[in-house]
Amino acid sequence: MAEEATIRIIGVLASILGVVAWAPQLKRVWVDKRHDGISLPTLWVVALALTLWLIYGVLIGASEIVVGNAIALTMILLVVFGVMKVRKPVQD
């Protein structure tokens, strides 16, 4: 029983850290209006990975995986759309 609780706590902590990790990027794009050094292809790959984790979490019934990845995915998509909004089109 204690081992199961420990595993669940680790999952919750991982989810929290996964969400917190994206806060600086979100601030950088939406508050500071800066996009330098942010790779959209990388963010799309991460978004795909988080979507797969989200599906996996639903399939195994792990709410900590579902909630954490849903929030992180939302944050990453906000970063992506923020970069697209801030980034100016290249002129010939």
% of residues, the chain, pLDDT over 90: 65
Instruction: Look at the chain and count its residues.
Output: 92
pLDDT single digits (tens) 50-75: 999 999 999 999 998 999 999 999 99
User: What is the value of pTM for the model shown?
Assistant: 0.83
Domain coordinates of the chain in residue numbers? 2-86
Residue ranges of the chain with per-residue pLDDT less than 50: none
CB 82 within 8 A of CB 26: yes
CB 59 within 8 A of CB 33: no
The CATH number that domain 2-86 falls under is 1.20.1280.290
